[in-house]
């Protein structure tokens, strides 16, 4: 099974989103280099899917990233993808796969590979996000707004009960890649139905990527008859605790953590230990 990453550098994004939430391109590339170096050794191949801007950053960096292949397939998104819909670049990457895969965010590190219990599933995710929690209550609000604006695809047919964090996402059986294709098509339909005049009117703009990436997939899996915990599962529990420690370590530098100088300094120290400069 192969490991894949997505690197979409959007010149239209604001400063925080420009480098996938990191303060600088150097911080972003340090994280990607550490993740791909540590995580890639557990897989048969490590690939990067990017746009030309992302490839240029890699080339200018000068360090040797462990990618067996780099595909520049995301350039077209720059011409039409609204900045708050950045997660579609990842979903498009998922849909291009013709064999089972694990996708890691650039700020996620799978240190020890995957537990056997998860390898036997059809799909895996980082963790379940319970929508009853106050911090994720906006899923229902975004759902209702999309329905009110008549942009919600007919395939998304129930009020959300849970969403899946996609810091790690995997389709582990070839027969189920067709569901990934369906997922990508439904998300694209949603983005196309927004159109600029409707997008500009939306109140929940910043939440769009989490909404369509992390909630749509659950709806589609359930509609295809798959069952949570049996057919798809997570490496962390809903509170973010690792279910497989100490044997399998997984880290994800979410939100403001990746902008913390203590964290970025620690990443650089790890890279030095691995032989990547001073």
What is the per-residue pLDDT across 250-260, written as a single tens digit (0 to 9) for each?
Answer: 988 876 777 78
| Domains in the chain: boundaries | 2-273
H helix or E strand, kind and range, residue 16: helix 15-18
Q: Which band of pLDDT confidence, cut at 50, 70 and 90, is reported for residue 158? A: confident
Which pLDDT value is given to residue 18?
62
Beta bridge mates, 250 = 110
Residues 143, 145, 150: CA angle, nearest 5 degrees = 95
For residue 152, count CB atoms less than 10 angstroms from its CB and return exposed for 0-12, middle for 13-18, buried for 19 or more. buried
Looking at per-residue pLDDT, the higher value among 20 and 32 belongs to: 32
Burial 154-193 (b: 16+ CB within 10 A, else e): ebbeeebebbbbbbbbbbbeeebbebbebbbebbbebbee
Two structure tokens written together for 217: 């997939």
CA diameter of the chain: 54
Lowest mean pLDDT segment, chosen from 1-15, 75-89, 192-206:
1-15
Least confident range of 2-11, 58-67, 237-246: 237-246
Calculate mean pLDDT across residues 77-82: 92
**66-71 mean pLDDT:** 97
> How many Å apart are CA 200 and CA 211, to the nearest integer?
17
DSSP 82-102: -GGGTTHHHHHHHHT-SS-EE
Flag whether the pTM goes above 0.75. yes
The helices-and-strands tally (H runs, E runs) of the chain is 10, 9
Cα 62 to Cα 34, 69, 190, 251: the distances in Å are 15, 16, 39, 26
Mean pLDDT of 60-86: 94
How far are the Cα atoms of 87, 147, 181, 183, 238 from residue 190, in angstroms, in the given order?
13, 11, 14, 11, 27
Please determine, for residue 130, whether its predicted confidence score (pLDDT) is greater than 80.
Answer: no
pLDDT at residue 133 in the model: 58
CATH code of the region 2-273: 3.90.550
Rounded Cα distance, 159 and 157, in Å? 7
Sign of CA dihedral 61, 47, 214, 88: positive
Query: What is the percentage of the chain residues whose pLDDT exceeds 90?
Result: 69
Q: Tell me the pLDDT tens digit for each residue of 193-228.
A: 998 888 999 999 988 999 999 999 999 999 999 999
**Looking at residue 17, what is its pLDDT?**
54
pLDDT of amino acid 278: 57
pLDDT score at 134: 52
Angle of CA points 17, 22, 23, to nearest 5°: 95
How far is 10 from 107, CA to CA, in rounded Å? 17
Query: Taken in order 112, 209, 171, 226, is the CA torsion positive or negative?
Result: positive
> Which residues touch 88 (CB under 8 Å, ≥6 apart)?
77, 81, 187, 188, 191, 209, 212, 213
């Amino acid at each position: 099974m192969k490991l894949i990453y997505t690197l979409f550098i959007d010149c239209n994004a604001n400063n925080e989103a420009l480098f996938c939430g990191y303060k600088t391109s150097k911080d972003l590339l340090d994280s990607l280099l550490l993740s791909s170096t540590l995580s890639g050794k557990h897989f048969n191949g490590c690939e990067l899917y990017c746009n030309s801007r992302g490839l240029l950053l890699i080339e200018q960096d000068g360090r040797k990233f462990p990618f067996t292949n780099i595909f520049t397939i995301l350039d077209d998104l720059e011409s039409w993808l609204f900045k708050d819909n950045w997660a579609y670049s990842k979903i498009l990457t998922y849909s291009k796969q013709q064999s089972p895969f694990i996708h890691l965010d650039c700020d996620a590190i799978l240190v020890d590979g995957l537990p056997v219990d998860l390898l036997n599933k059809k799909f895996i995710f980082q963790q379940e996000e319970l929508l009853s929690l106050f911090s994720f209550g906006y899923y229902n609000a975004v759902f209702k707004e999309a329905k009110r604006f008549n942009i919600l695809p007919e395939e998304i047919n129930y009020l959300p009960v849970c969403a899946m964090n996609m810091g790690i996402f995997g389709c582990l059986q070839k027969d189920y890649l067709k569901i990934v294709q369906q997922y990508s098509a439904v998300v694209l339909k949603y983005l196309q139905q927004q159109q600029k005049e409707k997008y500009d009117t939306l109140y929940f703009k910043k939440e769009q990527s989490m909404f369509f990436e992390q909630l749509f997939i659950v709806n589609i899996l359930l509609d295809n008859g798959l069952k949570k915990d049996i057919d798809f599962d997570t490496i962390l529990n809903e509170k973010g605790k690792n279910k497989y420690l100490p044997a399998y370590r997984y880290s994800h530098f979410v939100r403001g953590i990746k902008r913390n100088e203590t964290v970025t300094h620690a990443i650089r120290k790890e890279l030095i230990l691995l032989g990547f400069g001073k």
